[in-house]
Amino acid sequence: MSLRTIRWGRLIWTVLVTFYFLVFFRNFMVDAARPGGMLLPLVFAYVFVLWLAVEYFVGSPFFQSGVAEASPFWRGVFAFFVYPFLGYVAGDYFWWGWTQIPIPSVITWILGIGLFGLGVYLRLASLFAVVRLGNGAGGKAGQGRFPEKRFVQLRLQQLCRHPRYLATMMQLVGAALVFRSWGGLVLAIAVGLPLVWVQVRHEDRGLRQVLKKEYKEYADRVPLLWPRLSRQR
């Protein structure tokens, strides 16, 4: 990316908004500090804000694979779920404590930060792989101008057909663990997983239309969402 191609207005806006939210979460967690500490919840908040900033600047839809068009309806439904979900797990940790997991905090914090961080990595790595592919082809997502063979051979696309959605589920579970909320785990599995699954099925149909020739063979070889523990030969 050259200096001429950088969207300076978007970059400045992203930096200002990111700085605001970093300061906001720092002040919020200092004021809401509880016994047991706030360091790792604050690390989680910083990682969350910085990750969203990158996705916003690149222009990636929050809940989309980046190739086929997502369903606006289900993307909206997911947004109405995920932000109250994050509010619930944070409130459960800082204030009411209704569904706190009764094991040492350090265990859930390390598991949660690790899982959420891995989800961030999967989302960003798969995002930049698709962006590079689109730039090289001179096309845009959803326009059917991606080189099909190269897309289905992307490294993370061998893990599963929708690695960004897999990463989203990891982030939901990771957030619940960071804030030690078994209620959050129940919501992630009972509500978050079905919403992810509906959107995965929708986009998989879109991918079959956009990437026609080899997608069926690719779909037969690579699982939809959950990676296989061992590869079939």
CATH code of residue 197? 1.20.120
138 domain residue, yes or no? yes
Residue 203 has pLDDT above 70, yes or no: yes
Is pLDDT of 27 > 70? Answer: yes
* Domain presence at residue 123: yes
Residue 208 DSSP SS3: helix
Q: What is the tally of structural domains in the chain? A: 1
- Please check whether residue 47 lies inside any domain of the structure: no
Taking 90 as the threshold, does the pLDDT of residue 47 lie above it?
A: yes
Percent of the chain at pLDDT above 70?
A: 84
- In-domain check, residue 7: no
CA distance 26 to 136: 40
Q: Is residue 32 part of a domain?
A: no
**Residue 177 contacts by C-beta under 8 Å, 6 or more apart in sequence?**
101, 108, 109, 111, 112, 115, 185
Find the domain containing 122 and state its range: 61-221
Q: In the predicted model, is pLDDT for residue 9 greater than 50?
A: yes
pLDDT for the residue numbered 211: 78
Does residue 124 lie in a domain region?
yes
Neighbours of 170 (CB within 10 A): 21
Say if 20 falls within a structural domain.
no
Residue 172 has pLDDT above 60, yes or no: yes
Between residues 162 and 32, which one has the greater pLDDT?
A: 162
Average pLDDT for the chain? 86
Instruction: Specify if 201 maps to a domain.
Output: yes
Query: Is a pLDDT exceeding 90 seen at residue 185?
Result: yes
Cβ atoms of residues 125 and 194 within 8 Å: no
